[in-house]
Homo-oligomer: A and B are copies of this chain.
Amino acid sequence: MSAFGMHGPGQLTGPVVIIGTGLLGASIGLGLRGRNVEVFLSDPSPTNQAVAVDIGAGLPLAELTAKGYDDGAVRLVVVASPPDVTAVVVAEALRRYPHAVVTDIASVKSGILASVTEQASAEELSRYIGTHPMAGREKSGPVAARGELFTSMPWVLCAGPETSPEAREMARTLALDLAATVYEFTPEEHDEAVALVSHLPQVMSSLLASRLQEVGEHSLSLAGNGLRDTTRIAASDPKLWVQILGANAGPMVEILHGVREDLNRLINTLEAPEAPGARLDLAQLMSEGNAGQARIPGKHGGQARSYSWLTVLVDDRPGQIAQLLTEIGEIGVNLEDMRLDHSSGQNVGMVEISVLPSKHDALVEELSKRGWKVLQ
C-alpha cells in the first residue's frame, strides 16, 4: 500500500483550489467544506465566484496567501470550467501549482487529455487525471449547488498513460468523500460509453421531438407517457450539448452510422409492407430493441431485472398518493419504482408502481381489499 493509499478514502486534505464555480464546481466546494477541507474558489465571472463564496463553497482564491499558503501548498486543483476551455485551464493549473494533483470534470475525456498532453511536461502530466462526475440537474449556476449532488451517482476516473498512482488515488478520494460511486475507464472507453448511454439518447430524443414542431395541436392531444418519456431530455440546454457532441464527434458518428443502417432497413421495409419477409424484418427490429433494453442494469447498479407494474387510480391530490404509499408500506411490499400517469383529461391520477414479480398479485389483492381501484 502506498503512503497515499494509507489515507484511505474519505480523508482528502486541502488546500483545494476549484476553478469554475458553476453548478458542479460550487457543489464540489460545498461538499468538501462540509468535511472541513479548506477550499479556494476562482471563476472568470466575479458574480459566479461571489455567489459561490456566499453559499459557503469556499473562500476567494485571492485569500490563499492571507491564509498562509503559497501556490506550492495546494494539494488538489479541480478544473470545473466549460468543456471547450478545460484543457487550457488544466495546463495552466499544472504550471502554477507545482505540487498539486490537477483534475477536470468535463463530460468528454479523450480530446482534453490529448490537448493537455501537447501542452504539459512529463512531470506535469503525471499529476493530471481527467474525471467525469455524472451528476447534474436541470438548473445551472452556483445558486443551484448542493453538497449532496454527487451522492451515489457515478464518478468516472479516466487516468491517462502518464497519470501517477498518487494522482489517481487523490481523485478517488475526492469522489468517495463526496459519496459518489467510483468507476475506472480509460479516456477512450469512457467516451465510447457515454456516447452510447448518454449522448445517443439525447440525440434520439431531440430527433424525435423535432418532428413535433409542425404537427397540429389536435394530434398532440393524444400524447401519452410513451411520448413524454422518450422526449423528456429533448428539453436539455443546446449550448452545453453543442460542446459535448462536438467534443465526442468520433464515437458518435460511428454509433449513428449503425442507427442509420437500421433506419434505412426500417424505411425500406415500410415502403413495401406487404412484400415477402416484411413482417419478419419488422419483428426482428423490434426484438433487437427488446434485447438491447433488457441489458440496461437495474436499480442500484444491480443486474437487469424485470419488475411487475400495477396501476392504482387516485384522486389528484398529494394526500392520496401519500396514503397509498403508506398503505403499501404497511402491507410490507417494497416499492421498486413509481411514476404518475398523465394521459388524462380528468382530475384522476394514476400511480404506476413496480414491485418484485413475486409480490405483485398479493399487493393487487390487498390494495383492492382496502378499497383502492387497482388496474392490474
Contacts and interface: CB of A to CB of B under 8 A. Distances in A.
Given A222-B193, A326-B326, A153 B286 contact: no
B375 A300 contact: no
**Chain A interface extent, by class:** 35 or more
A293 interface: yes
A342 B299 contact: yes
A236 B318 CA distance: 30
B222 A183 contact: yes
Nearest to A286: B238
Interface of A: 134, 137-139, 144, 146, 148-149, 151-154, 156, 179, 181, 183, 185, 189, 192-194, 196-198, 200-213, 215, 217-224, 226-236, 238-239, 241-242, 245-246, 249, 252-253, 255-260, 262-264, 266-267, 270-271, 273, 278-279, 282-283, 285-301, 309, 311, 313, 316-319, 321-326, 328-329, 333-335, 337-340, 342-348, 350, 373-376
Contact of A229 (B153, B222, B232, B291): B232
Contact of A260 (B138, B193, B236, B260): B260
A374 B194 CA distance: 27
Contacts of A213: 288, 291-292, 295
B206 A288 contact: yes
